[in-house]
Chain A
Amino acid sequence: MISFDFDYYKPDSIDEAVTLFRSLSSMGKKPMYYAGGTEIITLGRLNLLYTNAVIDLKGISECNILAHNSDTLTIGASLTLAQLGMNHYFPLLANISKEIADHTSRLKITVGGNICGNIFYREAVLPFLLTDSQVLIAGKNGLQKNPINNVFCKTMQLENGEFIVQLQTQSKYIESPFVSIKRRQQWNVGYPLITVNSIKVENQIRVAIAGLCPFPFRSLKMESMLNRKELSTEEKVELAIQHLPQPILNDVEGSDEYRIFVLKNTLLDVVETLEGAGA
Chain B
Amino acid sequence: METIGKSIIRKEALDKVTGKAKYTGDYQSSSMLHAKMVISPYAHAKIKSINIQNAWKVQGVRGIVTGQQVPLVGEAIQDRPILAQDKVRYHGEPLAVVVADDPILAKRAADLIAIDYELLPVVNSPSEAIKPDTILVHEHLDCYKRAKHITPIPGTNIASRFKIRKGNMDKGWRESNVIVEDSYSFTPSDHAAIETRCSIVEIRSDESIIVSSSSQAPYMIKQLMSMYFGIDMGKVIVNTPLVGGGYGGKAAVQLELIAYLASKAVGGRKVKLENTREEDIITSPCHIGLDAKVKLGCSKDGFIKAAEILYLFDGGAYSDKGIDLSRAAAVDCTGPYHIENIWCDSFCMYTNHPYASPYRGFSHSELLFAFERTVDLLAEKLQMDPFELRYKNAILPGHTTPTQTKLNHSNIGNLRACIDRAKELSNWDEGQMVEVDKRFVRVKGASCIWKTSTIPSNASSGVIITFNKDGTLNLMSGVVEIGTGTKTILAQILAEYLKMNVDHIFVRMDVDTQTTPEHWKTVGSRGTFMAGRAVLEAADDTILQLKSVASCVLRTSIDDLIVANSRVFLRDDPTVGLGFEELAYGYTFENGNSIGGQIIGRGNYILRNITPLNPETGAGNPGPEWTVGAQVVEVEYDRRDYTYKLIKATSVIDIGKVLNEKAARGQVTGAMSMGLGFAARETFRLDQLGRVLNHQLRTYRPIHFGEHPEYAVGFIETPQLDAPYGARGVGEHGILGMPAALGNCLSLASGVSLHQLPLTPELIWREREGKSDLI
A and B assemble together: yes
List the interface of chain A (C-beta within 8 A of B): 1-4, 45, 47, 185-191, 251-255, 258, 261-262, 265
Among the listed A2, A3, A185, A188, which residue makes an inter-chain contact with B762, where contact means beta carbons less than 8 Å apart?
Answer: A185
Chain B stretch 267-303: residues in CB contact (< 8 A) with chain A = 276
Asked if B385 lies at the interface with its beta carbon under 8 angstroms from chain A, I say no
Tell me the complex Cα distance, A11–B177, Å. Answer: 82
Tell me the complex Cα distance, A73–B103, Å. Answer: 46
| Given A186-B701, A261-B769, 12 extra CB contacts under 8 A | A1-B104, A1-B107, A3-B107, A45-B276, A47-B111, A186-B761, A188-B706, A188-B707, A189-B701, A189-B707, A191-B699, A253-B699
List the interface of chain B (C-beta within 8 A of A): 103-105, 107-108, 111, 276, 640-641, 645, 680-681, 685, 693-694, 698-699, 701, 703-704, 706-707, 758, 760-762, 765-766, 769
On whether the beta carbons of B699 and A258 are closer than 8 Å, the reply is no
On whether the beta carbons of A4 and B681 are closer than 8 Å, the reply is no
On whether the beta carbons of A4 and B108 are closer than 8 Å, the reply is yes
Q: How far is the CB of A278 from chain B (nearest CB, A)?
A: 26
User: Can you report 24 A-B residue pairs in the complex whose CB atoms are below 8 A from each other?
Assistant: A1-B104, A4-B108, A45-B276, A185-B762, A186-B758, A186-B760, A186-B761, A187-B645, A187-B680, A187-B703, A187-B707, A188-B704, A188-B707, A189-B704, A190-B699, A191-B698, A251-B693, A252-B685, A252-B694, A252-B699, A258-B762, A258-B765, A258-B766, A265-B640
Q: How far is the CB of B350 from chain A (nearest CB, A)?
A: 25
Tell me the complex Cα distance, A252–B694, Å. Answer: 7
Q: A3-B104, A4-B108, A258-B766 are in contact. Are A187 and B681 (CB under 8 A)?
A: yes
In the complex, residue of chain A having the shortest beta-carbon distance to the beta carbon of B692: A252
Name the residue among B681, B706, B769 with the largest chain A CB count within 10 angstroms.
B681
Top 8 A-B pairs, shortest CB-CB distance: A3-B108, A3-B107, A252-B685, A189-B704, A187-B707, A186-B681, A258-B762, A252-B694
Q: How far is the CB of A71 from chain B (nearest CB, A)?
A: 38
Q: Which residues of A contact B703 (CB under 8 A)?
A: 187
Name the residue among A45, A187, A189, A190 with the largest chain B CB count within 10 angstroms.
A187
Q: A185-B760, A189-B701 are in contact. Are A261 and B107 (CB under 8 A)?
A: no
Tell me the complex Cα distance, A254–B766, Å. Answer: 11
On whether the beta carbons of A265 and B641 are closer than 8 Å, the reply is yes
Q: How far is the CB of B57 from chain A (nearest CB, A)?
A: 14
Q: Which residues of A contact B107 (CB under 8 A)?
A: 1, 3
In the complex, residue of chain A having the shortest beta-carbon distance to the beta carbon of B645: A187
On whether the beta carbons of B706 and A254 are closer than 8 Å, the reply is no
In the complex, residue of chain A having the shortest beta-carbon distance to the beta carbon of B686: A252
Q: How far is the CB of A108 from chain B (nearest CB, A)?
A: 15
Tell me the complex Cα distance, A189–B645, Å. Answer: 13
In the complex, residue of chain A having the shortest beta-carbon distance to the beta carbon of B768: A261
Q: Which residues of A contact B766 (CB under 8 A)?
A: 258
Q: How far is the CB of A120 from chain B (nearest CB, A)?
A: 13
Q: A47-B111, A254-B762, A258-B765 are in contact. Are A186 and B706 (CB under 8 A)?
A: no
Tell me the complex Cα distance, A191–B699, Å. Answer: 8
Task: Give how many A-B residue pairs fall within 8 Å (CB-CB).
Answer: 57
Tell me the complex Cα distance, A258–B762, Å. Answer: 7
Tell me the complex Cα distance, A190–B645, Å. Answer: 16
Tell me the complex Cα distance, A252–B641, Å. Answer: 19
Among the listed B276, B641, B645, B680, which residue makes an inter-chain contact with A262, where contact means beta carbons less than 8 Å apart?
Answer: B641
Tell me the complex Cα distance, A202–B761, Å. Answer: 36
Tell me the complex Cα distance, A265–B640, Å. Answer: 8
Q: How far is the CB of A73 from chain B (nearest CB, A)?
A: 30
Q: How far is the CB of A200 from chain B (nearest CB, A)?
A: 23
On whether the beta carbons of B760 and A252 are closer than 8 Å, the reply is no
Among the listed A3, A187, A258, which residue makes an inter-chain contact with B111, where contact means beta carbons less than 8 Å apart?
Answer: A3
Q: Which residues of A contact B699 (CB under 8 A)?
A: 190-191, 252-253
Q: How far is the CB of B494 from chain A (nearest CB, A)?
A: 41
On whether the beta carbons of B641 and A186 are closer than 8 Å, the reply is no
On whether the beta carbons of A1 and B701 are closer than 8 Å, the reply is no
Q: Which residues of B contact A253 (CB under 8 A)?
A: 699
Q: Which residues of A contact B104 (CB under 8 A)?
A: 1-3
Q: Which residues of B contact A252 (CB under 8 A)?
A: 685, 693-694, 699
Among the listed A2, A186, A190, A258, which residue makes an inter-chain contact with B680, where contact means beta carbons less than 8 Å apart?
Answer: A186
On whether the beta carbons of B681 and A261 are closer than 8 Å, the reply is no
In the complex, residue of chain A having the shortest beta-carbon distance to the beta carbon of B694: A252
Q: Which residues of B contact A4 (CB under 8 A)?
A: 108
Q: Which residues of B contact A254 (CB under 8 A)?
A: 762
In the complex, residue of chain B having the shortest beta-carbon distance to the beta carbon of A189: B704
Q: Which residues of A contact B707 (CB under 8 A)?
A: 187-189
Tell me the complex Cα distance, A261–B701, Å. Answer: 23
In the complex, residue of chain A having the shortest beta-carbon distance to the beta carbon of B706: A188
In the complex, residue of chain A having the shortest beta-carbon distance to the beta carbon of B102: A1
Q: How far is the CB of A196 from chain B (nearest CB, A)?
A: 13
Q: A255-B762, A258-B766 are in contact. Are A185 and B103 (CB under 8 A)?
A: no
Q: How far is the CB of A22 from chain B (nearest CB, A)?
A: 29
Tell me the complex Cα distance, A252–B413, Å. Answer: 42
Tell me the complex Cα distance, A195–B253, Å. Answer: 43
Q: Which residues of A contact B111 (CB under 8 A)?
A: 3, 47
Q: How far is the CB of B137 from chain A (nearest CB, A)?
A: 25
Tell me the complex Cα distance, A258–B641, Å. Answer: 11
In the complex, residue of chain A having the shortest beta-carbon distance to the beta carbon of B109: A3
Q: Which residues of B contact A261 (CB under 8 A)?
A: 765, 769
Tell me the complex Cα distance, A167–B107, Å. Answer: 40
Q: Which residues of B contact A255 (CB under 8 A)?
A: 762
In the complex, residue of chain A having the shortest beta-carbon distance to the beta carbon of B760: A186
Q: Which residues of A contact B762 (CB under 8 A)?
A: 185, 254-255, 258
In the complex, residue of chain A having the shortest beta-carbon distance to the beta carbon of B641: A265
Q: How far is the CB of A101 from chain B (nearest CB, A)?
A: 9
In the complex, residue of chain B having the shortest beta-carbon distance to the beta carbon of A254: B762
In the complex, residue of chain B having the shortest beta-carbon distance to the beta carbon of A102: B704
In the complex, residue of chain B having the shortest beta-carbon distance to the beta carbon of A5: B104
Q: How far is the CB of B508 from chain A (nearest CB, A)?
A: 34
In the complex, residue of chain B having the shortest beta-carbon distance to the beta carbon of A47: B111
Tell me the complex Cα distance, A258–B770, Å. Answer: 13
Tell me the complex Cα distance, A45–B703, Å. Answer: 25
Q: How far is the CB of B296 from chain A (nearest CB, A)?
A: 30
Name the residue among B105, B107, B758 with the largest chain A CB count within 10 angstroms.
B107
